[in-house]
Amino acid sequence: MIPGSFDYHRPNSVREAVGLLTKLGEEARVLAGGHSLIPMMKMRMASPEHLIDLSAIGDLKGISIERDTIKIGAMTTQYELIHSDILTKHLPIIAETSLVIADPQIRYKGTFGGNVANGDPGNDMPALMQCLNASYELTGPGGARQVAARDFYQGAYFTALEADEILTAVLIPVPHSGHGYAYEKLKRKIGDYATAAAAVIVTMSGGKCTSASIGLTNVSDTPLWAEEASATLVGSSLDKATVDRAVAAAEAITDPASDMRGPAEYRTKMAGIMMRRALERAASRAKG
Amino acid sequence: MSKSHIQLTINGKKVEALVEPRTLLIHFLREQQMLTGTHIGCDTGHCGACTVEVDDMSVKSCMTFAVQANGANITTIEGMANPDGTLSALQEGFRMMHGLQCGYCTPGMILRAHRLLQENSNPTEDEIRHGIAGNLCRCTGYVNIVKAIQYAAAKINGTPFQEAAE
């Protein structure tokens, strides 16, 4: 399979990349790892006339921590997320999630920014970013602005990103140091998108849940932040009756498609089961 | 649509070429460089038969444009043997442990296993299986491929190779 013809650009700065995007208009696409876009181009489901490769822009790489916020450059690869000392120490759920994305080869090339910006409901990082209440830095001709991950996704492949903007970084508030975490993903095989998946962060104190946040992957046109389910857990001891109510609240906001991964009803139930398993594991990891 | 001039190193040799931006790395290697050891399997990024090494990364060359590899250092199966032409530890392992039947996945398996052993010279069976999770083999059932990689790891580390019990 051979993609349609295009012109290739490799700018050295964000400013230059945004300039190209503005000048070339709708016929241009940015290229990050390429492992979502290139397959689409090979199948001729995408035929951009210009590709703007972001790989030479050093500013888009790297992971840093400043006070209570972790900043991850958009072109940081999944492999780099998995091997980051900062993330291992402060935010291990990122590596746990990266490790169930695609396969080793794709994780060398696939980027964090591409995963969150693409708007594919099958991608795993968006629900995790909603769970963590992350913000995306979007840079356009007028400068940078921030949009919360919880407000970014509008539909499958539709996001708050404007045509002349590039998602340049993700900002994540560092959770409480004793937090428990887990990402549970049901998939048919290595490399598959989720039938359903759940990200859970909890903090515990004296046997009581003091905060909880839950994100759900691939059970709607967009990632889902299960706000009511999260709130249901707070103040409880995570007893079975409370967890049952929270799971029901999470299942109620899902709206999955029936597809080769199973009928909609099954995928809704699997979202509940992934949430239940993630919550159990997160609670067992929480200190306090 | 103008062609792009690229410079890269393939198996230790400097190469310059003009490529259409849409030329995939696998097509560049096989059809312009005549390095046909790397195979096209599924052509959709799933099977790993097209795996090559690009700047210390295992990369699926059917999912990458040749222009993206401008300036890169690439190793293919043609560059895996020892400088004196004898088989590398991995190649020997695949031969001794019958790690191939039809051989179609083998170049990708060996390139991926090479990077795995560079990063983890003494992997457990579980780490090997997860490490080659992006490479499909439809013949062997993977058992002998895992043994081949264990054989190579032992040889590289100078430790005795003990075949795992069935």
The string of pLDDT tens digits covering residues B92-131 is 999 999 999 999 999 999 999 999 999 999 999 999 999 9
Residues in CB range of B122: below 8 A, 6 or more apart: B153, B157
The average pLDDT across A262-272 equals 98
Q: Would you say B62 and A39 are in contact if contact means Cβ atoms under 8 Å apart?
A: no
Q: How far apart are CA B110 and CA B106, in angstroms?
A: 6
| 3-class state of residue B19 by DSSP | strand
Residue A55 has pLDDT above 80, yes or no: yes
Q: A210: buried, middle or exposed (CB in 10 Å: 19+, 13-18, 0-12)?
A: middle
Q: How far is A203 from chain B (nearest CA, A)?
A: 31
Contact A40/B at CB under 8 A? no
Place of tokens 């979502």: A36
The string of pLDDT tens digits covering residues B29-38 is 999 999 999 9
Residue B166 has pLDDT above 60, yes or no: no
Return mean pLDDT, chain B. 96
The band of B139, judged by pLDDT with boundaries at 50, 70 and 90, is very high
pLDDT value at residue A215: 98
Host H or E run for residue A143: strand A143-148
Residue A136 has pLDDT above 60, yes or no: yes
Predicted TM-score (pTM) of the model is 0.96
Interface contact B22-A2, CB threshold 8 A:
yes
Q: What percent of chain B has pLDDT over 90?
A: 95
pLDDT value at residue B165: 54
Which of A6, A8, A41, A43 to substitute to test the interface with B, most B CBs within 10 Å? A8
The string of pLDDT tens digits covering residues A201-225 is 999 999 999 999 999 999 999 999 9
Q: How far is A64 from chain B (nearest CA, A)?
A: 23
Q: Which two tokens stand for residue A247?
A: 């799971």
The average pLDDT across B21-25 equals 98
Nearest CA in chain A to B132: A104
Interface confidence: ipTM more than 0.90: yes
pLDDT value at residue B164: 61
Return mean pLDDT, chain A. 97
pLDDT value at residue B162: 78
The string of pLDDT tens digits covering residues A58-110 is 999 999 999 999 999 999 999 999 999 999 999 999 999 999 999 999 999 99
Residues of B in contact with A8 (CB under 8 A): 4, 21, 65, 67
The string of pLDDT tens digits covering residues A14-41 is 999 999 999 999 999 999 999 999 999 9
Which residues of B fall below an 8 Å CB-CB distance to A?
1-2, 4, 20-22, 24, 27, 43-46, 48, 51, 57-60, 63-65, 67-68, 70, 112, 116, 130-134
Residue that wins the pLDDT comparison between B60 and B2: B60
Q: What percent of chain A has pLDDT over 90?
A: 98
pLDDT value at residue B1: 67
**Cα maximum dimension of chain A:** 62
Residues in CB range of A256: below 8 A, 6 or more apart: A196, A218, A219, A220, A264, A267, A268, A271
